[in-house]
Amino acid sequence: DAGVTQSPTHLIKTRGQQVTLRCSPKSGHDTVSWYQQALGQGPQFIFQYYEEEERQRGNFPDRFSGHQFPNYSSELNVNALLLGDSALYLCASRDRGTDTQYFGPGTRLTVL
């Protein structure tokens, strides 16, 4: 059984560009959350998707948007990239039975 998968592994962009990150949840999981982890910090919640809708949102600007597809996979989009957006972006899917979130390996985004 595959765990949470994310693509790409690494990404380099320049300021002002746009980026799309992708996540596939564990089999049987229908809720996907995205987190941003800056270097040396704990992950910060960006938003959560369930039934193709954004259900919760953290303190992130509208430049951060997302989408969930009917197969429960999800995308995170960031527009007008800033240097401060450089971070590890983590996707987590939720096991409804245990209310536990399982994380993918992350996408390392570098903004130059």
Partner 1 sequence: GNSVTQMEGPVTLSEEAFLTINCTYTATGYPSLFWYVQYPGEGLQLLLKATKADDKGSNKGFEATYRKETTSFHLEKGSVQVSDSAVYFCALNFGNEKLTFGTGTRLTIIP
- The helix (run of H) or strand (run of E) holding residue 19 is strand 19-24
Stretch that binds partner 1, among 14-22, 39-47, 67-75, 79-87 (CB under 8 A): 39-47
| Nearest distance from C-beta of residue 16 to partner 1, angstroms | 28
Q: How many CB atoms lie within 10 A of CB 21?
A: 21
The answer to whether residue 11 forms part of the interface with partner 1 (CB under 8 A) is: no
Half-sphere exposure of 68 (CA within 13 A, CB side): 22
Q: What is d(CA 39, CA 9) in angstroms, rounded to the nearest whole number?
A: 16
In degrees, rounded to 5, the angle at the alpha carbon of residue 30 between the alpha carbons of residues 26 and 47 is 100
What x-and-dash track marks residues 42-61 binding partner 1 by CB under 8 A? xxxx--x-x-----x-x---
| Nearest distance from C-beta of residue 96 to partner 1, angstroms | 8
The answer to whether residue 70 forms part of the interface with partner 1 (CB under 8 A) is: no
Question: Would you say how long the chain is, in residues?
Answer: 112
Summarize as ranges the residues that interact with partner 1 (CB under 8 A).
4, 6, 31, 33, 35, 40-45, 48, 50, 56, 58, 88, 90, 92, 94, 96, 99-106
